[in-house]
Structure 1
């Protein structure tokens, strides 16, 4: 497949997603929006990978490329293409599907559990996954589950953790692509966000995560990518 990634900041790259794409022999192209690169034409790709970032989807005045990115995402959905959105990417997918995106009641930062909803446990997409698992979070905004989408997962701090629309559009509020290197990069640029909070871990807690956390989330990611793409 021809997969195209939309990257919003240099320190939030594809992580384990790139490893999987290369391993599967798919073609990968990337638009680095923060560098002013042009977006692709619809016929240049088969699926979108929409990454995270510290900005909000409604900050068009500060990030003018958000307007054209949103148009591309909506056109891609209408054209029947597959997409996976991570964190900010999930919020952009929810927005494209007509759902509001807004500041959550709680920020979630660190290794925290998510729980599959009843519909999530029934979904073919999540077949074989545990009902509760610990994943990596770094977000403040959230969204309503789009109309017609399946609500897949939730957490104590955030109701809308994952959704699936039309069996081809997957939004994940959390980060299954994380590696020790990607987390170190986010910490280097965003550690000022680690303020006391109910669902905000300290840098020491984040770095103390056992290696099997990465193995579990990356394995989960690979399963979801295979089923969406």
Structure 2
């Protein structure tokens, strides 16, 4: 299977998604449309992963608009799609739903399961948050996760699409990369966590397993 990953900033890579890809002997291609303006062709895409980034789906850059066209084509072909943070917002925007401001969450905080559509997920998990925008839940999708500060933290749709406002994919090295390069983003966040606080918190051991379960689900 060819997994095409859309990465939107150098310090937010695929992390555990890449580990899952290697485990299943898939081929992963990582695109950087914000820098090179190149997107994969839909007929070369077996799975689409849209990662986070500092931009907004409400921005008008050509590549952001073109990326949504690719997402739309993937939906038409029933291709598995996973979106994290900006990626989840792009999915919702593609479907015609609004992206708006939310309370700024940066750091580790619990998320609570809201649907049993995916078997075997724990009722409560600790995830890494790095955002201040949110999406509307699309019609036909199930609300998957909520947090104490934000109801719409994740959705699942048609057994093929998952969008998460937060991050399960970062491994320990990825968290360190995010913090050393974008630690200033913690300023003024509602979780009141500093870069040092985030680095001191270990990545929960179950997060990679949950990431694997979510990817397995949309690829069944």
Q: Using structure 2 for the length normalisation, give the TM-score.
A: 0.95
Would you say how many aligned residue pairs link Structure 1 and Structure 2? 219
Partner of 2:6: 6
Describe the SS at the equivalent of 1:223: helix
Partner of 1:95: 93
CA–CA distance in structure 2, aligned partners of residues 198 and 81 of structure 1:
36
CA–CA distance in structure 1, aligned partners of residues 27 and 90 of structure 2:
23
Describe the SS at the equivalent of 2:81: strand
Describe the SS at the equivalent of 1:71: helix
Q: 2:182 aligned with 1:184, yes or no? A: no
Q: 195, 206, 216: which is aligned to 2:206?
A: 216
Superposition deviation, residue 21 in structure 1: 0.2
Q: 79, 95, 101: which is aligned to 1:81?
A: 79
1:177-206 Cα distance to aligned partner (Å, 9 max, x none): 111221122112222221243324111211
Q: 195, 206, 209: which is aligned to 1:203?
A: 195
Unaligned 5+ segments in structure 2 are none
1:151-176 Cα distance to aligned partner (Å, 9 max, x none): 11101111111101111010011111
Partner of 2:216: 226
CA–CA distance in structure 1, aligned partners of residues 123 and 7 of structure 2:
30
Describe the SS at the equivalent of 1:111: strand
CA–CA distance in structure 1, aligned partners of residues 192 and 86 of structure 2:
18
Whether the 8 Å CA contact 1:136–1:176 is kept in 2: the answer is: yes
Partner of 2:54: 54
Partner of 2:105: 108
CA–CA distance in structure 2, aligned partners of residues 34 and 198 of structure 1:
28
Superposition deviation, residue 37 in structure 1: 4.2
Unaligned 5+ segments in structure 1 are none
What RMSD over aligned residues (CA atoms) do the two structures have, in Å? Answer: 1.3
Q: Which moved more, 1:190-199 or 1:25-34?
A: 190-199
1:53-108 Cα distance to aligned partner (Å, 9 max, x none): 01111112xx331111111111111121110001110000111122111111x111
Q: 62, 65, 80: which is aligned to 1:64?
A: 62
Whether the 8 Å CA contact 1:9–1:33 is kept in 2: the answer is: no
Partner of 1:130: 122
Moved over 4 A (4+): none
Q: Cα 1:187–1:210, aligned 2, differ >3 Å: closer, same or farther? A: closer
1:21-50 Cα distance to aligned partner (Å, 9 max, x none): 011111111211132142122110111010
